[in-house]
Amino acid sequence: MSRKKGKVITIFSTKGGAGKTIFTLNLAATYSVLKKKTLIVDLDLYSGGIALALNIDQQKDIYNVVDDLNNNRFTIFTDYITSYNEYIDVLACPKDPRTGSKIEHKYVDIIMANAVNQYEVILFDTSHILNDINLAALDKTDEIILLLSNDPIDLKNMKSVLAIFKENEITNYTVILNESINTHKDIFTVFDIKNIIDNNINWVISRHFHLPQIDKWVLAGNIPLLSKKIQRQKKSDYKRFSKIALSLINDKKGEIKDE
Asked if residue 259 is part of any domain, the answer here is no
Distance CA 14, CA 152 (A): 12
CATH number of domain containing 177: 3.40.50.300
CA distances from 3 to 34, 120, 141 (A): 19, 10, 19
Q: Is residue 63 part of a domain?
A: yes
What's the pLDDT at 259?
44
Mean pLDDT confidence for 213-239: 93
Q: Is residue 97 part of a domain?
A: yes
Residue 74 has pLDDT above 80, yes or no: yes
- 250: pLDDT confidence band, cut at 50, 70 and 90? confident
Say what the pLDDT of residue 3 is. Answer: 61
Average pLDDT over residues 27-55: 96
What mean pLDDT, rounded, does the chain reach?
Answer: 92
Whether residue 255 is contained in a domain is answered as no
In a domain, 257, yes or no: no
d(CA 7, CA 249): 6
Residue 187 belongs to domain spanning: 7-248
Q: What is the spatial order of strands in the sheet that 38-42 belongs to? A: 82-83, 88-91, 38-42, 121-125, 7-12, 143-148, 173-178, 203-205
pLDDT score, position 212: 86
223 half-sphere exposure, CB direction, 13 A CA radius = 24
193 within a domain of the structure (yes/no): yes
The answer to whether residue 62 is domain-embedded is yes
Amino acid 181: pLDDT: 86
Task: Name the 3-class secondary structure at 90.
Answer: strand
Task: Between 41 and 1, name the one with better pLDDT.
Answer: 41
Q: Minimal CA–CA distance to 123: which of 254, 210, 22, 33?
A: 22
- Confidence band, pLDDT 50/70/90 cuts, at residue 9: very high
Indicate the pLDDT class of residue 254, thresholds 50, 70 and 90.
Answer: low
Q: Is 29 helix (H, G, I), strand (E, B) or coil?
A: helix
- Is 5 in contact with 117 (CB distance < 8 Å)? yes
In Å, what is the CA distance from 212 to each residue of 103, 187, 188, 209? 36, 20, 22, 9
Does position 154 have pLDDT exceeding 70, yes or no?
A: yes
d(CA 160, CA 16): 16
Residue 2 lies in a domain: no
Q: At residue 7, does pLDDT exceed 50?
A: yes
Nearest to 123 by CA among 107, 139, 147, 141: 141
DSSP string, 143-187: EEEEEE-S-HHHHHHHHHHHHHHHHTT---EEEEEETTSSTT---
- Encode pLDDT of 86-109 as tens digits: 999 999 999 999 999 999 999 999
Averaged pLDDT, 62-82: 95
Nearest alpha carbon to residue 40 among 49, 204, 74: 49
First-last CA distance in the chain = 35
Phi, psi (5° rounding) for residue 122? -125, 120
The total domain count for the chain is 1
H helices, E strands: number in the chain: 10, 8
Q: Looking at residues 53-72, what average pLDDT do you find?
A: 94
Closest CA to 239 of 259, 222, 223: 259
